């Protein structure tokens, strides 16, 4: 459905935060909609939480409260249903289904394999790199940044289960036996629980015998000023807040490009260009071989159909 166009001549420079009211005027809502469109156009992968922080702190069109966040979610739903915003405007890390229905034919399976085929440039490397995140909303952003490096992204969803960490540690131990050094780069919230999640997971992995270079990339305390990140009051209901100093910051508050830049800065130094170039050359040969194989299978399938078989 085509999006409607609303032209608003407005000044989006900093202004005092508007007091929360029961109802906003049509002009105010149109201004929020227009700025939302601009942010969507700017950010390739955008979560609703990220949009909320930009509207509240950068444009100061809404208040930085959970009530205003919930109201924004309601408006975004209405705007998407009306066609004012596209349904694909926001990143969604949830899956619609699990499992596979199989392939229509052998050649169909080979074509799908060829479409996504790539070699692992880390297999011959002496390092293994992964990105981990506390927040599901970060998966799309991190995956987009990591895809060019062919690095896996793991959502920990808070304090991960012992079973998952044991299974992960077992995989890491095997990689270590193969001579690899393991690096995990972590992205999570700066709050009483968030600052402990990565530390706890690193400790559990170590207890299970996996030696891992586990580094928190964001959000770090120094980055609050460095990136001018919006804060929120620390929840006193969190039992860990007694030892936490200062306000809290969600990873969603960081700009997408800043997160991508941090991924580049931490992963790219591990790239071996000689290995990468050799892998890309091998892939070209592999795809050519797959193309020839697919043609041969299609010819065989056609002959079987003419014979009335299969």
Q: Looking at residue 159, what is its pLDDT?
A: 67
Regarding whether 286 and 252 lie in a shared domain, the answer is no
Regarding whether 153 and 36 lie in a shared domain, the answer is no
Q: 246-250: long-range contacts (C-beta < 8 A, 24 or more apart)? A: 246/221, 248/189, 248/190, 248/191, 248/192, 248/194, 249/189, 249/190, 249/191, 249/219, 249/224, 250/49, 250/53, 250/135, 250/189, 250/190, 250/191, 250/219
Regarding whether 170 and 257 lie in a shared domain, the answer is yes
pLDDT in tens, 77-132: 999 999 999 988 887 655 556 677 788 899 999 999 998 899 999 999 999 999 99
Regarding whether 264 and 142 lie in a shared domain, the answer is yes
DSSP 235: P
Q: Is residue 108 part of a domain?
A: yes
Q: Is residue 246 part of a domain?
A: yes
Tell me the C-alpha distance between 214 and 172, whole Å. Answer: 12
Q: Looking at residue 310, what is its pLDDT?
A: 61
Q: Looking at residue 29, what is its pLDDT?
A: 93
DSSP 150: T
Q: Is residue 230 part of a domain?
A: yes
Three-state secondary structure call for residue 140: helix
Q: Residue 297 is inside which H or E element, if any?
A: helix 273-306
Regarding whether 205 and 71 lie in a shared domain, the answer is no
Q: Is residue 99 part of a domain?
A: no
Regarding whether 247 and 307 lie in a shared domain, the answer is no
Tell me the C-alpha distance between 145 and 151, whole Å. Answer: 9
Q: Is residue 42 part of a domain?
A: yes
pTM of the prediction? 0.78
Please tell me the total count of domains within the chain: 3
| Edge-to-edge strands, sheet with 152-155 | 152-155, 127-133, 181-187, 212-218
Q: Which domain holds residue 37?
A: 1-92
Regarding whether 72 and 27 lie in a shared domain, the answer is yes
Regarding whether 252 and 197 lie in a shared domain, the answer is yes
Tell me the C-alpha distance between 138 and 227, whole Å. Answer: 18
Regarding whether 86 and 109 lie in a shared domain, the answer is no
Q: Is residue 97 part of a domain?
A: no
Spans in the chain with pLDDT lower than 50:
1-20
């Amino acid at each position: 459905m085509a999006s409607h166009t609303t032209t608003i001549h407005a000044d989006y420079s900093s202004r005092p935060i508007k007091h929360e009211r029961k109802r906003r005027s049509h002009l105010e809502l149109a201004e929020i909609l227009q700025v939302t469109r601009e942010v969507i156009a700017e950010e390739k992968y955008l979560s609703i939480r990220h949009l909320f922080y930009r509207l509240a702190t950068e444009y100061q069109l809404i208040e930085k409260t959970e009530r205003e966040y919930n109201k924004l979610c309601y408006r975004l739903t209405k705007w998407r249903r009306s066609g004012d915003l596209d349904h694909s405007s926001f990143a969604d890390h949830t899956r619609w289904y699990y499992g596979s229905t199989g392939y229509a034919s052998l050649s169909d399976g080979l074509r799908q394999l060829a479409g996504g085929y790539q070699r692992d440039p880390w297999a011959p490397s002496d390092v293994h790199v992964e990105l981990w995140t506390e927040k599901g909303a970060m998966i799309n952003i991190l995956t987009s940044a990591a895809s060019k490096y062919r690095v896996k992204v793991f959502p920990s969803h808070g304090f991960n289960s012992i079973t998952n960490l044991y299974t992960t540690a077992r995989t890491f131990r095997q990689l270590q036996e193969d001579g690899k050094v393991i690096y995990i780069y972590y992205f999570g919230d700066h709050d009483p629980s968030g600052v402990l999640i990565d530390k706890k997971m690193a400790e559990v992995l170590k207890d299970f015998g996996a030696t891992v270079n586990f580094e928190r990339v964001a959000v770090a305390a120094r980055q609050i000023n460095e990136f001018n990140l919006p804060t929120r009051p620390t929840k006193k209901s969190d039992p860990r807040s007694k030892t936490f100093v200062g306000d809290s910051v969600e990873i969603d508050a960081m700009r997408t490009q800043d997160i991508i830049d941090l991924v580049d800065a931490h992963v790219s130094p591990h790239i071996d260009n000689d290995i990468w170039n050799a892998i890309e050359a091998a892939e070209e040969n592999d795809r050519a071989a797959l193309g020839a194989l697919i043609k041969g299978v299609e010819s065989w399938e056609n002959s079987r159909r003419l014979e009335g078989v299969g």
